[in-house]
Amino acid sequence: MSLFVLGINHQTAPVSLRERVAFSADTVPAALDALRALPQVHEVALLSTCNRTELYAIADDDGQALADWLATHPEVVGDLHAYLYRHRDADAVRHLFRVATGLDSLVLGEPQILGQVKDAWATARNAGSLGGQLDRLFQHAFSTAKRARTATRLGALPVDRERDHRYAGGSQAQGCEASAETGARGSQRRRRHRASFFLLPGACHAPRLAP
Collapse the DSSP code of 37 into the 3-class scheme (helix H, G, I; strand E, B; otherwise coil) and give the result. coil
Q: How far is residue 195's CA from residue 6's CA, in Å, rounded to a whole number?
A: 28
Kindly name the residue from 8, 44, 45, 50 that is annotated as catalytic. 50
DSSP strand pairing (85-88 vs 41-48): unpaired
List for the chain the helix, strand, coil content (%; round to 5): 45, 15, 40
Angle formed at CA 105 by CA 19 and CA 41, multiple of 5 degrees: 65
Is 50 tagged catalytic? yes
Q: How far is CA 122 from CA 65, 83, 127, 132, 139, in A?
A: 24, 27, 9, 13, 11
Catalytic residues: 50
